[in-house]
Amino acid sequence: MKTEFSLAQLADPDIAEANKILRACVHCGFCTATCPTYVLLGDELDSPRGRIYLIKEMLEKDRPPTREVVKHIDRCLSCLACMTTCPSGVNYMHLVDQARVRIEQQYARPLTERMLRAVLALVLPRPDLFRLSMVLARIARPLAALLPTPETFSATPTLLSRIKAMLALAPGRLPPPGAAAGSVFPALGKRRGRVALLQGCAQQVLAPRINQAAINLLTRHGIEVVLVKDEQCCGALTHHLGRDDDALARARGNIAAWTAEAERSGLDAILVTTSGCGTVIKDYGYMLREDRDFALAAARISALAKDITEYLGSIELHKSQQPGDVVVAYHSACSLQHGQKITGLPKDLLSKNGFVVKDVPESHLCCGSAGTYNLLQPDIANRLRDRKVANIAMIKPDVIAAGNIGCMVQIAGGTSVPVVHTIELLDWATGGPRPGLS
């Protein structure tokens, strides 16, 4: 794609990067076929190619974002299916991230929307506040039934539909908190390695059993696990809201904490059980590339970050004890398959450990979770969830496995089939407790 940035504009490293990305696009449109919002809405401006044009226009003319640009960028899930499909290697992720930051800095959203986004950015990365918000949401949940339900689908959400979506996603009850930050879980038997396990924010409140399963499995296989004390939210949630100052501050804090731990006691890897977080931590090196004080350390931390299945693929697991008749629908989270290009490995691990693993039809399409997307764009998210659940039902599974808490909550909202994390099944197969399957 031809671009017309001035030399002065290209002196800005972000614009130089955007220029490189835009020039790689040959506007072939292959990406439109796998873009969930284009598949649902059929509007070119809700396709990757359409959004790329909108972003190009905004950046090249150095214009503040218009309402139209904001509408179509807000509808993008950042699922990155377009990056998997693109034959020219266009890095849509870095382009849309930049557009979201510009929108956040230069576009005046309506007051209620600004307040809603500010509350999400405040609450979601803080487990204590998130826990409190879930308790309040549970109390307020009966009110959701009293709120009017729109009769027709709308890709332009109202405040009411968003509040309804938030209340609907609140769980009926919360489990007790998991292991505290700073805990160290020694290897059982001879120590073969030492890793940090990302504690996450929403996941540690909604499903601490996931990291507990990871700790059980790892220590059983001779790996010492540490929950690093000063670690905080990885920054993914605010990053996707365009609040880069917050996201980068969190990234720097984590880099300092993990680097100190690695220097003090050694770390073979930083393991992540929430693939949405893993994608962002693996991108710290890029996000902080212009930061003289952190660029090198950020690149090192990104190289240390691994999805839990990547790490398990590199060690020999105990012989499977799983009975072998459990049919698993493996839901491939977008952040894992498109963001981190991890596709076959989780399925191979499950198959090798005795599960009957089946692919979900249209597995490239997002379930609609996408960070805060199901709260901010509930109608599109619900349609994607219903489509995902219908595809899953076609393979008649006993259980659905996924590697991302956001997807697990989203899919569980539309099905009675149990939804568990891949690590819970692997823990079970290698000697851990049977996860909550009915």
Is the CB of 35 or the CB of 134 nearer to ligand SF4? 35
Say whether residue 82 binds ligand SF4 (CB under 6 A).
Answer: yes
Is the CB of 99 or the CB of 233 nearer to ligand SF4? 99
Matching residue, tokens 């731990």: 261
Say whether residue 36 binds ligand SF4 (CB under 6 A).
Answer: yes
Strands 184-185 and 223-226: what pairing? antiparallel
Query: Which residue of 18, 19, 37, 125 would you call a contact of ligand SF4, by CB under 6 A?
Result: 37
- Give the range of 86-94, 135-143, 313-321, 381-389 binding ligand SF4 by CB under 6 A: 86-94
Whole-angstrom Cα distance, residue 189 to residue 389?
Answer: 42
Within 10 Å of residue 40's Cβ, how many Cβ atoms?
19
Say whether residue 339 binds ligand SF4 (CB under 6 A).
Answer: no
Is the CB of 35 or the CB of 70 nearer to ligand SF4? 35
Query: Which residue of 88, 105, 265, 321 would you call a contact of ligand SF4, by CB under 6 A?
Result: 88
Is the CB of 51 or the CB of 306 nearer to ligand SF4? 51
Say whether residue 27 binds ligand SF4 (CB under 6 A).
Answer: yes
Whole-angstrom Cα distance, residue 204 to residue 275?
Answer: 14
**166 Rama sector, left if φ>0, alpha if ψ -120 to 50, beta otherwise:** alpha
Strands 223-226 and 193-197: what pairing? parallel
Work out how close the CB of 86 gets to ligand SF4 at its nearest, in angstroms, rounded to a whole number. Answer: 3
Strand partners, 224: 194
Is the CB of 90 or the CB of 350 nearer to ligand SF4? 90
List the one residue out of 204, 152, 206, 162 whose CA is nearest residue 183: 204
What single DSSP character describes residue 361? T
Query: Which residue of 22, 41, 70, 81 would you call a contact of ligand SF4, by CB under 6 A?
Result: 81
Q: In the structure encoding, which two tokens stand for residue 335, read together? A: 């952040």
- Give the range of 76-84, 240-248, 356-364, 407-415 binding ligand SF4 by CB under 6 A: 76-84
Using CB under 6 A as the binding rule, the residues of this chain from 40 to 69 that contact ligand SF4 are 48-49, 51
255-269: buried (b, 16+ CB within 10 Å) or exposed (e) per residue?
Answer: bebbbebbeeeebbb
Calculate the CA 245 to chain-centre distance.
19
Cβ atoms of 192 and 115 closer than 8 Å: no
Say whether residue 275 binds ligand SF4 (CB under 6 A).
Answer: no
Work out how close the CB of 73 gets to ligand SF4 at its nearest, in angstroms, rounded to a whole number. Answer: 9
Is the CB of 94 or the CB of 352 nearer to ligand SF4? 94
Say whether residue 25 binds ligand SF4 (CB under 6 A).
Answer: yes
Is the CB of 32 or the CB of 353 nearer to ligand SF4? 32
Q: How far is CA 254 from CA 55, 250, 261, 302, in A?
A: 31, 6, 10, 11
Work out how close the CB of 103 gets to ligand SF4 at its nearest, in angstroms, rounded to a whole number. Answer: 14
Say whether residue 79 binds ligand SF4 (CB under 6 A).
Answer: yes
Matching residue, tokens 């949940």: 141
Query: Which residue of 9, 10, 30, 126 would you call a contact of ligand SF4, by CB under 6 A?
Result: 30
Work out how close the CB of 192 gets to ligand SF4 at its nearest, in angstroms, rounded to a whole number. Answer: 38
Is the CB of 52 or the CB of 207 nearer to ligand SF4? 52
Q: What is the identity of the amino acid at 126?
A: R
Work out how close the CB of 368 gets to ligand SF4 at its nearest, in angstroms, rounded to a whole number. Answer: 10
Burial of 231 (0-12, 13-18, 19+ CB in 10 A): buried
- Give the range of 77-85, 143-151, 262-270, 297-305 binding ligand SF4 by CB under 6 A: 77-85
List the one residue out of 73, 74, 102, 81 whose CA is nearest residue 33: 81
Work out how close the CB of 279 gets to ligand SF4 at its nearest, in angstroms, rounded to a whole number. Answer: 12
What single DSSP character describes residue 119? H
Say whether residue 167 binds ligand SF4 (CB under 6 A).
Answer: no
How many residues comprise the chain? 438
Is the CB of 280 or the CB of 326 nearer to ligand SF4? 280
Is the CB of 82 or the CB of 262 nearer to ligand SF4? 82
# binding residues, ligand SF4 (CB under 6 A): 25
What single DSSP character describes residue 419? E
Contacts of 324 (CB under 8 A, 6+ apart): 354, 355, 356
Residues that bind ligand SF4 (CB under 6 A): 25-31, 35-37, 48-49, 51, 76-82, 85-86, 88, 90, 92
